[in-house]
Homo-oligomer: A and B are copies of this chain.
Amino acid sequence: MCEALNQPWTWIEGGVSAPQGFQATGVKAEVKYKDKYDVALIYSEVPAQGAGVFTRNKVKAHPLVLTQKYLENGVAQAIVANSGNANACVGEVGDRAAEEMARTVAAALGIKREDVLVASTGVIGVEMPIERVVQGIEDAAEILKASEMEPAWTPLKKVENAHQAALAIMTTDTAVKEFACELPCREGVIRLGGIAKGSGMIHPNMGTMLGFITTDAKLPATQLQDLLRQAVDQSFNMVTVDGDTSTNDMVLFLANGESGITPVGEEWVAFQEMVNSLCITLAQEIARDGEGATKFLEVQVNGATSVEDARKLAKSICGSSLVKTAMFGEDANWGRILAAAGYADAEFNPSQASIYLGDCLVAQDGQGVQFSEEVAKGILTQKEIKISLVLKDGEAQATAWGCDLTHEYVTINGDYRT
């Protein structure tokens, strides 16, 4: 999370409860483990506009199907999510469990069942321990209701509670992914919050990725959907891939309008940038937290024919096992980078391609150039490595994020070049 020059918005605390009218909490319901937060509840005090982006996997988890249905009208007021069980591939009992989760939230918070979005993450094909989840939801709702009743409820407590929601959606994640920011506007302030989970080796077939985003901006659902779609395409989809994801992946976005502000003109542009930055920052954190990762990789492609091709090239390089092991092995093996671009199923002219590791040019016009192995080593020993593929085919650019591939596989591949 970097502060860009002249960036009109700032990072703040509070995660998904930072925007006005939102509250969130997490509880320990023993879905799979004892003493782990595993049920998260996010709630808007008023019905909100809702948008979602979902996995393209042909096999869809039960809560995902329900959430897609409930989102058809573009209205939502709560998100309930559990870790420890994916509620996928268990048949009708799974459909009923997802409905039961929505019903419990609705009853406990006094809202419409159809305004509750449901998400799950965990093992596929095992029946949900629905009684424990229901109990967890009721406990979570109690906490949120207490906060409404209690004027002395401190902002700090609100932040702590929202943090527990972020904890509750984690599975093999080692770090919480939670951010919030605010944009000063002429008529006040718009706030934005987001949490995410997603571990696995990151691409090609990671574990479930979930993202929940809240804002108090006032936007119609269709605009919210477009905003989310374009943000996801340059963020979450650049660490994972729609076509390569799990049965449960989803990113949800609620806008409750409580700021009273509909950003337009420059403020709309700034708001859009803030949403993109939040999503990119969450996506980067997912990449950084790849299982067993020791290095964070950023792959930038410039000069591509189209944004689509630039994205394919960046993701192909970032997802290549051979590139990832070379980075772990701190080996400036640019041939693997070019080869991974070669099978990206994207149009480009390899004989005009240049490759940089950090600022160090290692290949030009599709062939190696003389470079200082020492300088390259200096770059590759860093915890964060930037790989650039510079083409002369067009103007399009894209960035993907990932991590290195470590250990045993590397003892074979990491030193292949030297």
Contacts and interface: CB of A to CB of B under 8 A. Distances in A.
Nearest to A368: B125
A205 B409 contact: no
Interface string A343-358: 1110010100000000
B58 A341 contact: yes
A86 B339 CA distance: 12
A366 B320 CA distance: 31
Interface stretch (A87-95, A160-168, A215-223): A87-95
Count of this chain's copies in the oligomeric assembly:
2
A409 B339 contact: no
A77 B338 CA distance: 32
A243 interface: yes
Nearest to A406: B408
A7 interface: no
A105 interface: no
A205 B59 contact: no
A150 to B, nearest CB: 40
A335 B342 CA distance: 32
Interface residues of A, number: 58
Interface stretch (A181-189, A226-234, A410-418): A410-418
Interface stretch (A41-49, A244-252, A276-284): A244-252
A335 B201 CA distance: 18
A172 B124 contact: no
Q: Which of A89, A201, A243, A350 has the most B CB atoms < 10 Å from its CB?
A: A89
A412 B335 contact: no
A231 to B, nearest CB: 22
Contact of A126 (B172, B207, B368, B412): B368
Nearest to A347: B58
Contacts of A205: 320-322, 339-340, 343
A396 to B, nearest CB: 17
A292 interface: yes
A73 interface: no
A343 B56 contact: yes
B88 A343 contact: no
Contact of A59 (B56, B126, B322, B338): B338
A193 interface: no
A257 B307 CA distance: 52
A338 B319 CA distance: 22
A243 B204 CA distance: 15
Given A59-B342, A320-B205, A125 B408 contact: no
Nearest to A340: B205
A341 B60 CA distance: 12
A350 B350 CA distance: 40
A407 interface: yes
Contacts of A343: 56-58, 205, 243-245
Interface of A: 56-59, 86, 88-91, 123-126, 172, 200-201, 204-205, 207, 243-247, 291-292, 319-322, 333-336, 338-345, 348, 350, 363, 365-368, 405-409, 412-413, 416-417
Given A59-B342, A89-B363, A124-B339, 14 more contacts: A58-B341, A58-B348, A58-B350, A59-B338, A123-B333, A123-B335, A124-B333, A125-B335, A126-B368, A200-B413, A204-B320, A207-B322, A247-B338, A291-B409
